[in-house]
Amino acid sequence: MTAPLLAVDAPSLLYRAWFALPDSIKGAGGMPVNALLGATNAILRIVADRGPRAVVICNGAEAARYRVERYAGYHADRPPVPDGLAAQFARAGELFEGFGWTLAGSDELEADDLLHSFSLAEVEAGGGALLMTGDRDMFQCATDTVTVLYLKTGVRGFEEMTPAAVEQRYGIPPALVPDFIALRGDPSDGLPGARGIGEKGAADLLRRHGSLEAALAAPDGEKPRVATALREQAGELRDYLAIATLQRVPVALPADRPLDLAGGADEAEALGMNRLARRLRDAGDPSQL
C-alpha cells in the first residue's frame, strides 16, 4: 500500500503545544521554544509510526475574509496570540523545513482549507492522507482513504477519526459535519448555531432529513421550537454552513521525501534546542526517536 501524505495544521499544533508545555523551556537568546518542541515531537511521533511519503506543514489566515463577511462574529472572541508564541510561529518554518517538510500557506483561506485541499489532491493521485489537527471541523474530511489525527488535550496523542469514528461521535457521517456545525454551533469559532437545537437535536434532524437544506425546506413537522428556529434563522444557518464547509484551492503535491534527521538537528541547534538536536543526531532512523 502506498505511504500516505501527512498534512499538518501548524497553527493548531503550535497553539496546543504552547499551552501543554511550560514557556520556561527556552532556546537561543532566551526565546521560549516550548511550542516548537512540542509540535516537532508530535509530528516526529507520527512520522515514526506511520512512515508518510512526505509531510506538508500548512499555515493560513487566522480568519478567512469570506467567512468573516458571512458572519462578523466568526473568530471574533479569540484572544490575541501570546508574544512568546508569536515569536515561535515566526521561526517554525525554518525548523520544519530542516526536516525536509514542505511548507504551504495561504493569505486568503485557513490552514484547514489547505489540509482539505491536499487530501483531495492526494486521493485523486491514487494515494491516501493523514490530517493532523486539533480542529473538529476537519472531521468532514474523513473517508476510507483519509484519516483525521485529532490531537487530544495538549499534544498527548491522537484520536483516529475515520468515517466510523465520526459517526459514532456525532451520529452523522463526515459529509454532514458542516451541516451539523451550522445547526449545533461551534463556540471555538464563535458560531452560535440554531436557537434551541443542541448536539442531539442537530444529529436527529440531519438523520431524518439528510441535510440542513432539506430540514430548512420542511419545518412544519418539527416541534414548535425547532420549526421556529428553522424558519426564522434560515439565512443565518446557510451562512454558518458556508463558513463550516472547507474550501478547496489548487495545491502542488510534494514529491516523496524521507525525514532529514541531520537537517532537523542543525535547525534545532540554531534555535538553541540542544537536547532535541542531540536526540536527532543520536537516532539512526525515525523509529529510534
Residue 155 pLDDT greater than 70, yes or no: no
pLDDT at 221: 87
C-alpha grid cell, residue 109:
483561506
Burial of 6 (0-12, 13-18, 19+ CB in 10 A): buried
Query: What 3-state class would DSSP assign to 289?
Result: coil
Taken in order of first residue, the domains within the chain and their CATH numbers are 5-169+247-288 (3.40.50.1010), 171-244 (1.10.150.20)
- Residue 203 confidence (pLDDT): 97
Q: What is the pLDDT at residue 157? A: 83
CA distance 114 to 3: 20
Q: Please give the model's pTM, rounded to 2 decimal places.
A: 0.95
Q: What is the arithmetic mean of pLDDT over 212-232?
A: 95
Q: Is a pLDDT exceeding 90 seen at residue 43?
A: yes
Residues 44 and 289 sit within 8 Å (Cβ to Cβ): yes
Query: What pLDDT is attached to residue 154?
Result: 60
The predicted pLDDT at position 58 comes to 98
- The whole-number pLDDT of residue 284 equals 78
Predicted local confidence at residue 77, as pLDDT: 87
